[in-house]
Structure 1
């Protein structure tokens, strides 16, 4: 009798975990910036998500290719992550967020404790 109770408990725990995981979106993949100027590839880096520039339109910005621009992005609710965002244009790192809505990803970099933020929308490729 002890074993079936244990198995039922473990099945409930596993089901709860899997249902929760299924609700979270998958931000992994390649994303094109809304202005068509760059692409980033987002994927796992340890327990977090990271994103690196894979392509830029302007030849003058080719030095950005390969640079990690999103890192330490950890879950912060359904389809949301928080971490750090690096801006290759000014060389600064900001508090960052990512929000997934279907095949659209909105990223934001904030400063002054979130008082000033700049967001960008990306389309899944």
Structure 2
């Protein structure tokens, strides 16, 4: 009886995957924002990801920044995304919007190999979502 039980347990263990829990997909790369006007480079950052604007149209100044000393800077090179926490099928953290100068609780998750859903929320209730497209 004991050997039958041991064989049953071994057979069950052999059929289980050898990896741990599934992690969120890797969003690292260059992304075109939904409006098609800016590009954001997402890179590994701690246990999650950070995103920095690498191109934007026109002068692209950070005129809405709450810090008056930063309102004259160009948004190219500004980190707008900090998502250090794995959150289900994506990552969560904060998202800075240079269009209004506000920082929101944010999240990102791949919805396809070339589609990234980026969400910014106020009080976790009022959210705006955009789909960014991977640049090859």
Asked if these proteins are the same fold (TM beyond 0.5), I'd say: yes
How do 1:44-123 and structure 2 match up within 5 A? 44-57=44-57, 59-61=58-60, 63-78=74-89, 80-102=90-112, 103-111=114-122, 113-123=123-133
Distance, in Å, in 2 between the alignment partners of 1:100 and 1:72 is 13
Instruction: Return the TM-score normalized by structure 1.
Output: 0.77
Report how far residue 38 of structure 1 moved. Answer: 0.3
More strand by share: 1
Bigger Rg, structure 1 or 2: 2
- Structure 1 runs (4+) deviating above 4 angstroms are none
- Within 1, Cα distance between the matches of 2:33 and 2:131? 6
Q: Which runs of 5+ in 2 are unaligned?
A: 1-16, 62-73
State the Cα RMSD in Å. 2.4
Give the length in aligned residue pairs: 110
Please, which runs of 5 or more residues in structure 1 have no aligned partner?
Answer: 1-13
Higher helix share: 1
